[in-house]
Structures are given as C-alpha cells and as structure tokens.
Chain A
Amino acid sequence: MVPLSYYLVLGGILFVCGVLGFLIKRNIITIFMSIELMLNGVNLTFVAFAAQWHMLGSANALSGQIFVFFVMVVAAAEAAVGLAIIIAVYRTRETLNVDQVNLLKL
C-alpha cells in the first residue's frame, strides 16, 4: 500500500526533468527526448489517478488507461513528424544546435 502521492511525486519529478532538459539542452534531438520524458511523467500521473478512481470504486479506472493509450499514440505521431522536421532543418542548416536556428528573430 503505497500512498498515491508518491506516484504523483515521481511523475512530477519526471516532468520537471523533462522541462529542465528542454531549457538546458542545446541539441534539438535531446530536446525532443525531453518532451518524451515529459509525456511519460504525465502518463504515470494518469495511471496513478486511474488507480485512485478504482480505489474509490468508480468506473473511470479504465478511462484513465485509455487516455494513456491515446497519449502514447499522439506522442508517437508527434515524434515522427518532429524528427522529419529535424531532418529537413538539418538539410538546410547543417547543424543540430537549436541556438543557430534563429531566423525568426526581429
């Protein structure tokens, strides 16, 4: 019997690590991976709350997991498209450093 808050804290730590990675890292692929990390933390939170619902006897326990399922699907699609963009950017810029892709500056 582990208190649910532990799971939530773990999910929060994963999320925060993802955000920090987004802010600190310079390689665009690493930044993408940080996004995936964030999504994973969120998935854990969803499942934890689904368990909570189950403990309370509601039928929403399954809905939480299905939501996780959809999150994973979307994450996969996003990863595919994102990596394609990265390849396209790499073709023109020849760099994976996100600081050098700043043509939109004023």
Chain B
Amino acid sequence: MTPNLLRFLWLVPVLPLGGAAVNGLFGRHSSKKAITVVALGFSGLAFVLALTFALNFSAASAPYSMDLAHWLRSGDFRVDFSFYLDQLSLVMMLVVTGVGFLIHIYSVGYMWEDDGYYRFMAYLNLFMFFMLTLVLAKNYLMMFIGWEGVGLASYLLIGFWFVKDSAASAGKKAFIVNRIGDFGFLIALFLMIKHFGTLDFPALFAKIQAIGPEIAGAGTLTAIGLLLMVGAAGKSAQLPLYVWLPDAMEGPTPVSALIHAATMVTAGVYMVARSHMIFERAPSAMTVVAIVGTLTALFAATIGIAQTDIKKVLAYSTVSQLGYMFMACGVGAFSAGIFHLMTHAFFKGLLFLAAGSVIHGIGGEQDMRKMGGLRSYMPWTFLTMGIATLAIAGIPPLAGFWSKDEILWRAFGASWVYWSIGVVTAFITSFYMFRLMYMTFGGEYRGTVPRDAHGHDSHSGDGHGHGEPHESPVVMLGPLAILAILSVLGGFIGYGGRFEHFLAPVFQAGQATQEAAGEVANKSVEYALLGVSVVVALLGWVVAHLFYSGRSEMPARIARALGGLYEGVVHKYYVDELYAALFVKPLIDGSTEVLWHGVDQGVIDATVNKAADGARHVSDEARHMQSGNLRSYAGWVAAGGALVIAYMIWTGVR
C-alpha cells in the first residue's frame, strides 16, 4: 500500500468529526435533507476510504503509523497524536465504518419524525469519530481519548430523550459505571508510564517483548493486565460492571445497535487484543480474563431467558456474547475473539435493527407478551431477523457458527471447564433467541396498535393512525438486508484459518504457541466438538419450539415450579438492588448527611451565618451605649479618662 494513499488515514476519523461539527452547529436550522446529506456523506466517505485502505492491505503489509502533532513532552516521556494502521486496527476500522454507515442509513428512517433529528445525527457522527480514534490510536493515551469519548457519546445517545427520567438516569448510570472501569484503565496507564516510560504501542511492546517470553516481571505485568481488564469490564459490560448495558436500552434502537452491540462495547475486547503481549506474559491476568468472560457469558444468558422486553433480551445476549470474546482472549485465541467480534457486529447489529423495525411497526410496544403473529405483517423483518437468529445460535453455515465454534475449540484446548460452560451457554443462547422469534413472530397477534401513535420505543407519535402492524420503509429495510447477507457470508472470511492468518503479524508471539497446540490436537476431536455445538444449537431451537410456538403451558408450569429461582432470574438476580444498597445508598446518605448537612450547612454556612449573627448580637448589645443621654456619655468619658490617668501614673511612678 503506497504510503501516499495512507497519508489520508487521518481523514477516516476526522471526517465524521466534521460531520458532527456541521450538524451540531448548524443543524438546528437546517432542513432534514441537508442534515441527512451531511451525516451520511461524511460517514460514507470515511467508509469508502476505509474500504480503499482495506483493499490494498494484506497480511504481509507492514503497519503504518502517522504522527499528526506533538502532545505531551515531559522529560523522557512523550506522547503524540498519532494514528496506527495494522491488520487489527484495519479490521476494527472496517467494522466501525461499515456497520456504522449502515446504521446511519437506518437512522434516517427511524428518527425522521423526531425533533432532535439533527442532534441525533451529530451525536452518531461524533461517536464514530471517537471510536475510530480509539481503534486507530498509536498509543494508549490516544486510545483513552477515544475510550472516554465513546463513553461520552454513549451517555449523550442513551439519554437522547433526556426529558424522560428513566433515559436520563440510564445515561448517567452508563457513564458512571464506565468511569469506574476507566479508573482501572488509568491506573494501568500510570503503571505503564512508571515502569516502561512510554505508552506508544510499538515502543512499549518492544520493551515488553525484551523482558522475555515467560512470566518475567511478574508483579507489574499482572497488575497492568488486571487493571486493563477492569477497564475492559466497564466498557464491555462484563461482570461486575455490566449493569449499565440493559438500562442503556432506553436509547433509540439504532443507538443500541451501533454502540451497544456492534462497536462501543467491543472496545474492551479490542483493547485486550491490542495488549495481548502484556497478557501473554501475565498468565494469571489472562486466566482472570477467561474466567470473567466465561462466567459473564453464562450469567447473562440465564437472565436473558426470562426477560419480556425484546431489547432487554438482546442486551443480555450482547453481554453474553462479549463474554465469549473475552473467554477467547483469555485462553490466548485473540484472533478468534476478534473474529467473533466482527461476526457479532453483523448479526447483533442486525438483530437490534430488526427489533427496532418491529417496535416501529407496532407503534412503540416493546413487550414481547404483547407481540406475536407479526410474521404476516412484516415478512422482510421476519426474514432478516430469522437469519440473524440462526447466526447467533451458531447454526452452520452462518457466520456465528464459525466464530463461536473457533472460540469453543480454543477454549477446549485450554480447559474443558471453559468449553462446557461455553456449550451450555450456547444452548441457552439458542433457546432464548428462538423464544424471542416465536413470541414475536409466531402465533397470533396479542397486542393492539394505538390508532394515533406511530411511536418509536414508546416515546412520541406522529399521528400516523394505523390500526395494525406494518412493515418498515425501504430506508430501514435496506441495511437489514445488507447485514443479513453479511451474517450469512461473514463466516467464510475466517473459514479455514484465513482470519488468523490475516491477523498473524499482529499476534505473532501468541499465535505461534497456540497454533502449534491446535495442530497437535486431533482433527477428529475438533469435528466431534463441532458436532456437539451444532447439536446443542438445534436442541435449543427444539426446546424453544416446544415451549413457545403455539399456546403451551410448559413455560408457565416450569416458572411456577422453580418459584423463587425464577423470580430471581426475572429480577436479574437483584444485582441492581444489591449495588444500590451496597454502594449507591451509602454514597448518597453519606453525601447528604456528612457533606451536605455536616460540612456545607453545618460548617461553611454556619460559619458565615454565625459570623453575621455574632456581629448582629454584638452590635445589639453595643448600641445601648448610644442613648442620647449626655450624662452617660460624660460618665464613659470620665471613666476612660480615669483609666488613662491611672495608667500614666502607674508607668510614671515605676
């Protein structure tokens, strides 16, 4: 790839920034057409550029770095604004710009009637700028800019309908929980600066590689790895910092698709993959990553079974699939994790967009118990969503099967425990996804579409006046179709280890050991495990069919039989309540009692008030001296004079 063309690498993030600026500053008084042209134009151009780079970048290409400007210089430590393109960031860049652009197109249709249309488009572009900065960064500090920026964009977009209390609170929750993770990330950065003196990827990794391939420098690298994982857990919604993601469904559906399925939440996975050299030299940290990912996958999947809001099911599904990606990174299969990231972006993005189409079509209803029978009303949505469901369940030959199977195979290589939990989770995933399909599209329509509402996520209407569910416009169906095609064909990108090979230059050290381990194992074992995955996925489908197609009493009977356990699952294991009691309430109480009443009112206000009161009391007493009575004045003068005379005599006589 000629460096001449790569000179324009900086345009890829900056173009969406330009779009955000134009729409943000001038959008309020522009026509919707103009806003659309600006938003789609800038982001589309970025996608075209990314494609151009991709077409000319091969597995053998050397990484390209580009320094834009000086930033921090402090003694020997320096950090600059720099971009870096290698195979890993190329994959991420393509995913972000590609899926992002498709969701921009979808949003045109979805958010057209909203008053804040220009704001939405501006925020979407802003998000793309930050995400691209994150993936194209050459050093951890640039990545952190992007990291924080996508957190900001997420807050703005979750709370897009900020007049709704729940949306505003969800935005705050997302930002604050993210912040907790960012704290860990920051400490990791500090450790890196302290011990290695640089945050630049090439320089830093060269130094770490020089340390040695084993557990050298045990304490520091493990600490850095664990702290990076804390940051990733916050951003990518893993245990215990996942609580913001289900609440983030308050935002419009395109936001859920873009940010909370395809791109932002994958930033954590990208960061862990980028830091693979640190993790490979800190086995305990990597084990922690794998355990966290596995447990999260299972945990979230179990919650997803009992949810009735269509977007909440998808949210927990996202958490679960992210757990898979972390499991992959934790066992050393970084490229498998990235592969799953890519396919997940396709089918999860598609799932969310299709869910948005469903919600749009039935007037804003999100409760699946009030859906059903929509297959005849929305055939295209049904078709695309079905494809995505097959993909996520892991049914060959769709994309999800290839990536998920790769992960399970690698997990088996590390420990059968990971593999078995992964398989159980795959069964549960398949079950709840097909449950979603049956409840939404199967049977009879159980709800009513309000005659005067054409709502999106139950927030506003435009007086459409439909009495029955309807299909979405082409502008929304188009991206659905494209993503469906990608969900079908996306797996073949990685088929036969092609993906690994592409990312090999990035992951050399780790890849070597893992590939060697992989080749040694039996091909037959691999096929056996593959068969197990497929069987498990189909089993999930069958069980879902038994329970939810047609009017079956099984779900209700099982729910009653499980009693308390079922209640716990429905209430998300009461984690939110636990956090509220453990952290939020003490913080609020402490803040109110100690800081507000105690310090602010008791000390600061009291000081000022008491000073004023004191002055008033003193003057209240003192004003009696001015009585207008001549003799009292004379008395005071005489007394004072007597004192002075006494003093003079005393000093004179001594």
Contacts and interface: CB of A to CB of B under 8 A. Distances in A.
A–B direct touch, CB within 8 Å, in complex? yes
Interface of A: 19, 22-23, 26, 31, 98-99, 101-106
B39 to A, nearest CB: 73
A24 to B, nearest CB: 8
A94 B629 CA distance: 17
B628 interface: yes
Given A104-B626, A106-B627, 17 more contacts: A19-B638, A22-B634, A22-B638, A23-B634, A23-B635, A98-B631, A99-B630, A101-B630, A102-B629, A103-B628, A104-B628, A105-B626, A105-B627, A105-B628, A106-B623, A106-B624, A106-B626
Contacts of B631: 22-23, 26, 98-99
A31 to B, nearest CB: 8
Contacts of B628: 101-106
Contacts of A106: 623-624, 626-628
Q: How many B residues touch the partner, as a band?
A: 10 to 19
B629 A105 contact: yes
A20 B2 CA distance: 112
Contacts of A23: 631, 634-635, 638
A85 B110 CA distance: 94
Contact of A99 (B624, B629, B634, B638): B629
Contacts of A104: 626, 628
Interface in B616-654: 623-624, 626-631, 634-635, 638
Residues of B contacting A: mostly:
helix
A104 B631 CA distance: 13
Contact of A102 (B624, B627, B634, B635): B627
A95 to B, nearest CB: 13
B652 to A, nearest CB: 14
Contacts of B623: 106
Nearest to B638: A19
Contacts of A105: 626-629
A26 B631 CA distance: 8
A22 B636 CA distance: 12
Contacts of B624: 106
B631 to A, nearest CB: 6
A31 B623 CA distance: 25
Nearest to A99: B629
27 contacts: A19-B638, A22-B634, A23-B631, A23-B634, A23-B635, A31-B630, A98-B630, A98-B631, A99-B629, A99-B630, A101-B628, A101-B630, A102-B627, A102-B628, A102-B629, A102-B630, A103-B628, A104-B626, A104-B628, A105-B626, A105-B628, A105-B629, A106-B623, A106-B624, A106-B626, A106-B627, A106-B628
A14 to B, nearest CB: 16
Nearest to B641: A19
A59 to B, nearest CB: 26
B649 to A, nearest CB: 12
Nearest to A31: B630
A99 B634 CA distance: 12
Nearest to B639: A23
A11 to B, nearest CB: 14
A11 B124 CA distance: 100
A88 to B, nearest CB: 16
A85 to B, nearest CB: 12
Nearest to B625: A106
A19 B634 CA distance: 9
A103 B627 CA distance: 9
B644 to A, nearest CB: 14
A26 B632 CA distance: 12
A4 to B, nearest CB: 17
Contacts of A102: 627-630
A12 to B, nearest CB: 11
A22 B634 CA distance: 7
Nearest to A28: B630
B637 to A, nearest CB: 9
B45 to A, nearest CB: 80
A40 B624 CA distance: 34
Contacts of A99: 629-631
Contacts of A26: 631
Nearest to B623: A106
A21 B628 CA distance: 19
A33 B231 CA distance: 94
B561 to A, nearest CB: 86
Nearest to A104: B628
Contacts of A101: 628, 630
B50 to A, nearest CB: 83
The 9 lowest CB-CB distance pairs between A and B, nearest first, are A105-B628, A102-B628, A104-B628, A106-B626, A106-B623, A98-B630, A105-B627, A22-B634, A102-B629
A82 to B, nearest CB: 13
A23 B635 CA distance: 6
Nearest to A22: B634
A100 B638 CA distance: 21
Contacts of B635: 23
Nearest to B642: A19
A98 B633 CA distance: 12
